[in-house]
């Protein structure tokens, strides 16, 4: 038996409860000695299994203790695999237990990240990753915290350690997609400014994370963004297709396709106040011409091949999005297909078969 929360009635000890008690012991002893990463990983793996097996009532009995222990472990500073497992466990406990605790837990994590001055980088990364997981699962319940979360991300982006900046943008990506575009316009505007600084970060893992954030923005309708913002973000994506790292180029290719697909579907765009955007057909057509066709035709120099492969990937993602997400009819898709064929046939320096093969290999071996 274990003491209840606040010294109440004893809580019956189940397998899940025993693992929570072990986790509390590990956290308590960490004041004298840094917890062993392998021990923590094994314990959290068992805890994850126990969450699946335990009934809701058992989870609820131990939920507060488990949440507190997980947060304490994360802010002590742990390795990435441990941070990932602990964050996942936090989300699953709230999901299976008492969901109402999502508000207090998100607030606790935000409060810690706001108040901490200069904590261990791994501690900040852990808290950010956990908060991001909560946003991923329950974002629509906590949209009121988006402004503060954007400020937290801006703070974390000042860290020298690139993995902290990466996890900050992962938090932002989860917050954007989790909120579904239902937050305050000011939060999205600040988020967009942060992302646009991240796309030119010196670390490739941060640039890739920023590109994924741009894709997330497109997925939720680009809330609070105007056509100028769409245009500038697509220009940065085209520039990102010349990055020296292939994973970064691929991330920007996806982002470009997603943003352009949204740009040609004004009814799906969300602006200030949650209203729909309106855009002229000319602007929409200019987007395809400016960000896909012209860069492809004008590509030259040492990076020409990679740029064209990236633009071809963007075409693929663009066509996929407008068809699968926005329901573009086949007749319009045929028009885009004709445009792509004209580009390929009108450029004698290209081998269309080799280009398509290169793109196909990216999907087979990402």
Map out the domains of the chain as residue ranges. Answer: 54-97+105-212, 228-237+250-366
Its pTM stands at: 0.88
Cα dihedral: 252, 254, 260, 263 (round 10): -100
Calculate helix-pair angle for 121-138, 146-156, nearest 10 degrees.
150
pLDDT at position 350 is 52
Place of tokens 């899940």: 16
- pLDDT band at residue 10 using 50, 70 and 90 as cut-offs: low
pLDDT at position 117 is 77
Provide the token pair at 25: 């012991």
Q: How far apart are CA 57 and CA 235, in angstroms?
A: 52
Mean pLDDT of the chain: 87
The average pLDDT across 323-350 equals: 75
- pLDDT band at residue 236 using 50, 70 and 90 as cut-offs: very high
Share of the chain above pLDDT 70, in %: 86
pLDDT at position 214 is 98
pLDDT at position 207 is 98
The average pLDDT across 227-239 equals: 94
> What is the DSSP code (8-state) at residue 35?
P
CATH number of 54-97+105-212: 1.25.10
**Residue 30 or residue 137, greater confidence:** 137
pLDDT at position 102 is 97
pLDDT in tens, 57-92: 999 999 999 999 999 999 999 999 999 999 999 999
Say if residue 273 is exposed, middle or buried (CB neighbours under 10 Å; 0-12, 13-18, 19+).
exposed
- pLDDT band at residue 282 using 50, 70 and 90 as cut-offs: very low
The average pLDDT across 270-284 equals: 53
């Amino acid at each position: 038996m274990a003491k209840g929360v606040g010294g109440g009635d004893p809580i019956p000890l189940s397998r899940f409860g025993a693992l929570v008690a072990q986790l509390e012991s590990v956290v308590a002893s960490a004041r004298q000695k840094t917890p062993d990463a392998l021990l923590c990983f094994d314990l959290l793996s068992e805890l994850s299994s126990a969450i699946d097996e335990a009934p809701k009532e058992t989870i609820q009995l131990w939920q507060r203790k488990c949440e507190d222990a997980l947060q304490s472990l994360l802010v002590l500073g742990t390795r990435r695999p441990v941070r990932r497992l602990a964050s996942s466990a936090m989300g699953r406990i709230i999901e299976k237990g008492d969901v109402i605790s999502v508000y207090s837990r998100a607030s606790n994590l935000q409060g810690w990240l706001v108040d901490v001055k200069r904590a261990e980088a791994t501690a900040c990364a852990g808290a950010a990753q956990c908060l991001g997981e909560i946003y991923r699962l329950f974002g629509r319940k906590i949209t009121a915290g988006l402004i503060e979360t954007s400020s937290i991300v801006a703070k974390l982006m000042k860290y020298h350690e690139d993995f902290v900046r990466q996890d900050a943008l992962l938090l932002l990506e989860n917050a954007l997609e989790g909120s579904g575009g239902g937050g305050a316009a000011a939060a999205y505007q600040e988020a967009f400014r942060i992302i646009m600084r991240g796309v030119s970060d010196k670390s490739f893992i941060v640039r890739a994370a920023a590109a994924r954030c741009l894709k997330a923005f497109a997925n939720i309708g680009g809330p609070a963004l105007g056509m100028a913002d769409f245009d500038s973000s697509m220009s940065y994506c085209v520039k990102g297709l010349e990055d020296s790292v292939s994973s970064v180029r691929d991330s920007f290719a996806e982002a470009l396709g997603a943003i352009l697909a949204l740009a040609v579907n004004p009814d799906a765009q969300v602006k200030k106040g949650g209203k729909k955007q309106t855009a002229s057909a000319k602007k929409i057509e200019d987007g395809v011409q400016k960000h896909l066709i012209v860069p492809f035709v004008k590509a030259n120099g040492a990076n020409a091949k990679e740029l064209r492969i990236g633009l071809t990937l963007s075409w693929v993602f663009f066509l996929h999005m407008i068809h699968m997400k926005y329901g573009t009819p086949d007749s319009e898709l045929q028009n885009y297909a004709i445009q792509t064929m004209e580009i390929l046939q009108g450029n004698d320096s290209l081998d269309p078969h080799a280009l398509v093969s290169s793109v196909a290999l990216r999907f087979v071996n990402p």
